[in-house]
Amino acid sequence: MSETLLNEIRATKPEAPSALRERVRALSVQEHAREPFLDRLRFTWGWRRLALAVPATVVVAFAAAGVIGLSRDGARDQVSAVGGGDTAVTSSTFEQAQAEDSAAPKAASPALPSRATGIVPPATGQLQRYEAELRLQVDDVEALSTATKRAQQIARSHDGSIASLQYDAPSEGVGTAQITLRVPTARVQSAMAQLSQLGTIVGQRYGIDDLQAQADSLQSQIEATQRQIAQLVSRLQSTTLSDAERAVLQSRLSNARTKLTGLREELRGTNAEARTATIYLTMTTEEIQAVPVGGGRLDGVKDVLAWEAIALLYALVVVGPFLIVGVIVWLMLRLRRRHVETRLLEQN
Amino acid sequence: MTLPRRQPASVAEQAASFAATAEEHLDDVYAYLVYLTRDRSLAEDLAADTFEKALKHWRRFDASRGSARTWLCQIARTTALDWFRAEERRRRREERAAVPERFEDGGLSPGLSPGLSPELEAALRELSAGEREVIALRVLLELDGDEAGRVLGISPTAVSTRLSRALKKLEEKVSIHV
């Protein structure tokens, strides 16, 4: 292209006619006078402002999660401090706890505070009914589970048994385990000593009833009944008895024998009762806080963030297809507009 | 880091600033529209429409994203294309009504510019609007590749290619008319 032609084009640049110039000068004054109120207030969003808005939104989301999450933790702390609220029904049963820990019996954890029991040993050589109640506190649900299993092992190791067991480990509140153990009275002191090491002793009570007098009385009655039976048998051997007298003696003999059987049963029961002591063991946890899975103070923040992410994901899933369709339509319209423009510029 | 942004001005300052900008770039916008439409009367009307739209959207103008001249040329181009579209629709309606009234050179105001030689004038008229506009932007208004690309909505490279083809074609047509 020759420079001459280019210079000619530049040199002959069309100039706006004065009428147009006056029109444009008048425009600004007229437009200023009738500028709509809303136009003056209009806030336009540029891409740069949008680019700032995105990180700002993320910061706000994190801040909100922090405030909500931490304040929720604080509220939970307050609730547990006053000890209010109903305890929820346990979600973990004793059987589950047992299944969780099938480890071999082990000694009481040294972390569990204990002190020697001031238990009075049963008197040897004398029949007594021995009952003891022991109340312990353990640290948490896990310790409660372990202590419950350990109590069963202690009963078995002392040739005893578990008469009843109730275990409750709620998600909030106080966990409890109530166990009734029966162990030989001769070994009750050892059993109590071991049981008391399962937690901190918060209370204990024991009671001894003398069964010796009862046993002695039964023994006297047995011996008296035996003598009565011997006399009846002796009289029945006499040949001078009439039939009526013989029938009466037979009846008395039968009653005496029945009575003897009952007395012997009762004496055996008394002896058995004296041989076995009953221990009522109650273990409780400290106030259980409803700690979410995973624990930790920042979990509240993570929870809120997770919910925010879920909400965002949900919004994306719902709005996403519309956005994609919108973008496709916008691109197609833009392409079509370009095509039309090109055609118009070619034709004119 | 602070983003460059146009300081908000009062309405009076805004209007005064717009008046100065319009005064400064009126000739450029008009020349561009003359080349685009080949019609000085039409270019005059479209230039007036352009500045009316520009004033309406003056608050949205961001100097950091391009010069006022580029922004005004973009509005002028949109205004002209809207007019082309409307004119095309009008022609189609007339063709359907069997009353042809074609948009021909005879209906245009004579001469792109009074000083142009007849050969160059004829050659320019034979170019398409697309070719004339790239010559107007790059030669007449002396916009650089980036600015012209922003007005046309294409890359600077595409502007160079389009300009090169347009000038070559113009030269060929001038040689024919000589």
> Whole-prediction pTM value?
0.49
Per-residue confidence band for B119, with pLDDT thresholds at 50, 70 and 90:
confident
A12 touches chain B (CB under 8 A): yes
For chain A, which residues make up each domain, given as ranges? 36-87+293-324, 89-291
| Contacts for A140 with CB less than 8 Å, ≥ 6 apart | A175, A285, A286, A288
Q: Do B128 and A14 touch (CB under 8 A)?
A: no
Instruction: Say yes or no for a CB contact (<8 Å) between B47 and A42.
Output: no
Minimal C-alpha gap between B156 and chain A (Å): 17
Query: Residue A119 has what pLDDT?
Result: 62
pLDDT given for residue B7 in this prediction? 44
Please check whether residue A114 is in contact with residue A196, taking contact to mean a CB–CB distance below 8 angstroms. yes
Q: Considering only CB atoms, which chain A residues are within 8 Å of B168?
A: 1
| pLDDT score of A47 | 64
Supply the angle between the helices B40-56 and B68-96 in degrees, to the nearest 10.
Answer: 120
B106 touches chain A (CB under 8 A): no
* A chain contacts of residue B31, beta-carbon cutoff 8 Å: 13-15
Contacts of residue A301, Cβ cutoff 8 Å, sequence gap at least 6: A65, A66, A68, A69, A70
**Distance of alpha carbon B127 from alpha carbon A14, whole angstroms:** 18
Write the CA distances from A244 to A11, A139, A248, A252, A258, integer angstroms. 166, 77, 6, 13, 22
Q: Taking CB atoms and an 8 Å limit, are A42 and B59 in contact across chains?
A: yes
CB-CB under 8 Å, B62 with A46:
yes
pLDDT tens for chain A, residues 1 to 348: 578 888 888 888 888 999 999 988 888 776 555 555 555 555 555 666 777 887 888 888 888 877 777 776 555 544 443 333 333 333 333 344 444 444 333 333 333 333 445 566 666 677 888 888 899 988 888 888 899 999 999 999 999 989 899 988 887 778 889 999 999 888 888 888 888 888 888 888 888 888 888 889 999 999 999 999 999 999 888 888 888 888 999 999 999 999 999 999 999 988 888 888 899 999 988 766 555 555 566 777 888 888 889 999 999 999 999 999 999 999 999 999 888 888 888 887
CA dist A197 and A114 (Å) reads 5
Percentages helix, strand, coil for chain A (3-state, rounded to 5) are 60, 15, 25
**Partner-chain contact B51 A46, CB within 8 Å:** no
